[in-house]
A and B are shown apart, each in its own frame.
Chain A
Amino acid sequence: MKILVFIKQVPDTDDVKLDPKTGNIMREGVASKLNPLDANAVEAAVQLKEKYGATVHAVSMGPPQAEDALKKALALGCDEAYLLSDRAFGGADTLATAYTLSLAARKIGDYDLLLFGRHAIDGDTAQTGPATAAFLGIPQITLASSIDVQDGYVICDRVLEASSQKVRARLPAAVAVTQEINTPRYPKPINIMKALKKPRYVWNAEDLGADTSRTGIPGSPSSTKELLEPPKRNADTKYFSGSAEEIAAQIADMLHDEHLI
């Protein structure tokens, strides 16, 4: 089995700062990490590899620093890493990103399974995986909270708000996983040492044979008009004491005083 897992490097902070001039997210001086949901996708891929045998190929589109996320993926058990990096890819929306990722999938070739995290914690669109599957013309399963492969099918549980589903799709297929699917392991130090010896490739627009009118900013029909910092929540903690009844009465009084009930 050949599994491609698509990962993204995201800022490692809960306290994202915006550049006041450009309105973009400030990445300078902010540590970055592997998108947490993508760590779940990597873990799912590695578990399938351990169960059935597979080669796992990690793919990331991003600036040269995105290598760090790929190295981590290698330490976690992926076999090869591909960085898609080119100025022509910069500023891509989900459509242009999916186009670029689909070219990489085609170039790697012979894939059985494409794995994505449900969403990236920075962009938060949850569109890249599904759009990539659409470009490749393969079936897709989103919101997967479990995954298995049997007789040429991928089988997943999908947990929805009011129900859950068990679905399957014929391989090759794409699956976007949720956080519930697994708990990502820590990369063992010995695997970190081995990771840096595994093959890593960097592909630019030319390597992918990309039509650069479809990548980066030119290829992005959507653009962000304005980014706003999330309102700072001023948590005002109040402590109550007494018996359960007394506390309940005090809470009711407070809610009443604040005109909340």
Chain B
Amino acid sequence: MFKFTEEQLMIRDMVREFTTNEIEPRDRDMDENGFDRTLIPKLVEAGLIAIHLPEQYGGGDGDTVTSEIVINEIAKGSASVALFLDAHWLAADMILHHGTEEQKAKYLPQVAEGKIFAFGLTESNAGSDAGAIKSVAEKQADGSYILNGGKAWITNSGVADYYLIMAKTDPEAGNKGISVFVVPKEAEGLTVGKFEKKMGMRGTGTCELSFDNIKIPAEDRVGPEGRGFMIAMQALDGARISIGAIASGLMQHAMEKAVKYAKERTTFGKPIYKNQAVGFKFADMAAKIRATDLMIWDTCQMKDEGQRISVEAAELKLLSSRWACEVTDDCIQIHGGNGYSREFDVERFYRDAKLLEIGEGTSEILRMVISGAVIGR
């Protein structure tokens, strides 16, 4: 098994305690009523909101392994809160890796202080085909930009203080014509739409955004003009590890509940787990969880060593998101009719799990990435 350092194990215990006390008790309510903002100051105080950023910006100086321990443990209490953090980090990462010193000094401390960030790539007519986005940032004579268009499905919208928006600066140039901009929530011309009525991950806010002649100063473009697609894809590689960590957390949480239920529930005079048809489900679940975990920590370690992880992160997300759907499905089945009720939580995990096969690259897109690498090898 992967060897965690003593610090990492202590951090895992700390996040576990935090999740048990502060996060898990809120998850069912957030499923009904949306993200609970009172969690933000708690995540700040516990030093978790920006654990992956360098200490000079108020971050927690955590490596990838440590950061994904945080996501994984939080997901055991709430997949939504883990996804909220994942999106916050995904957006901030673009500034960390591609921002100027001034941008880092201005924005990164805010990431750590609890200002929330969102990542805006998808549009209603362009998801998998991100190069086909229609939002346009037109350069003005003074070097500033005027942004028009809109986005769809943006996690943390309504909650976020800053949106990192991908828009075309050269509409003719396809993927090479995209640039990244920071848009504050107060920006004139920004409209945040209604919360989507989602199947799962309902503890996160997801909305459409629309841009009506938003003026963006030149210093709020992140990275060189035309490099936005590459910057976004690189950030997504890292975030796909987080999706794996969420899948693992969800599977463990669901299995824990199902094991407990299978011991308590008796039919035909014995606890249901004594039926091999039920017991064997746990065997498959345990194997899927362990395989996911091995892939998570291996990919984290590769990232910490500075290796490229596009393929490995895609493989992790592809398998773990499917398994999360299967495991949570099995856990509902083990709960019988109760599994279909909101009272027993596992149906929520199933709804949450399905997003993992769609967001941050659908399984089909991941297969394109992986098979492309295999054929090219």
CB atoms of B6 and A189 under 8 A apart: no
- Looking at chain A's contact residues, is the secondary structure mostly helix, strand, loop, or mixed? helix
A/B pair count, beta carbons within 8 Å: 46
CB atoms of B17 and A189 under 8 A apart: no
> Interface size on A (CB < 8 Å)?
14
Q: How far is the CA of A186 from the CA of B18 in the complex (A)?
A: 7
A189 to chain B, nearest CB (A): 4
Please determine whether A192 and B46 come into contact, CB atoms closer than 8 angstroms.
no
Residues of A within 8 A of B70 (CB): 189
What's the minimum C-beta distance from A9 to chain B, rounded to whole angstroms?
A: 14
Check if A83 is an interface residue, CB within 8 A of chain B. Answer: no
- B230 sits at the interface (CB 8 A): no
B60 at the interface (CB under 8 A from A): yes
Task: Determine if B11 is an interface residue (Cβ-Cβ < 8 Å).
Answer: yes
**What is the number of residues of chain B that contact chain A, defined by CB distance less than 8 Å?**
20
Q: Does A209 contact B (CB under 8 A)?
A: no
CB–CB A192/B55 < 8 A: no
Cβ contact within 8 Å between A191 and B10:
no
Q: Is the CB of A190 within 8 A of B61?
A: yes
Chain A nearest Cβ from B116, distance in angstroms: 19
Residues of A within 8 A of B55 (CB): 190
CB atoms of A190 and B10 under 8 A apart: no
Is A71 an interface residue, CB under 8 A from the partner?
yes
Which residues of A (52-111) have their CB < 8 Å from a CB of B? Answer: 71-72, 75
The answer to whether B10 touches A71, judged by C-beta atoms less than 8 angstroms apart, is yes
Q: Which residue of B lies closest to A31 (CB)?
A: B13
Indicate whether B62 reaches chain A with its CB closer than 8 angstroms. yes
The closest CB in chain A to the CB of B15 belongs to: A189
Query: In the bound complex, do residue B47 and residue A188 qualify as a contact, i.e. CB atoms below 8 Å apart?
Result: yes
Given the known inter-chain contacts A193-B7, A193-B61, A196-B6, please indicate yes or no for A187 contacting B45, CB distance below 8 A. Answer: no
Are A186 and B14 in contact (CB-based, < 8 A)? yes
The answer, yes or no, to whether A185 is at the interface (CB within 8 Å) is yes
Query: How far does the Cβ of B113 sit from chain A's closest Cβ, in whole Å?
Result: 14
The smallest beta-carbon distance between B123 and chain A, in angstroms, is 36
**Assembly CA distance A71 to B60 (angstroms):** 18
Q: Among the listed B15, B17, B45, B47, which residue makes an inter-chain contact with A190, where contact means beta carbons less than 8 Å apart? A: B47
Residue contact A196 to B14, C-beta cutoff 8 Å: no
- Taking a contact as CB atoms under 8 Å apart, the answer to whether A188 and B46 are in contact is yes
Query: 14 other contacts beyond A186-B47, A188-B47, A190-B47, with CB at 8 A cut-off?
Result: A72-B10, A75-B10, A75-B14, A186-B17, A186-B18, A186-B46, A187-B14, A188-B60, A189-B15, A189-B62, A190-B55, A191-B47, A192-B11, A196-B7
Would you list 10 pairs from A and B whose C-beta atoms are within 8 A, ordered by A residue? A71-B10, A75-B10, A75-B14, A188-B46, A189-B15, A189-B66, A190-B61, A193-B11, A193-B61, A195-B10
Which residues of A are interface residues toward B (Cβ below 8 A)? 71-72, 75, 185-193, 195-196
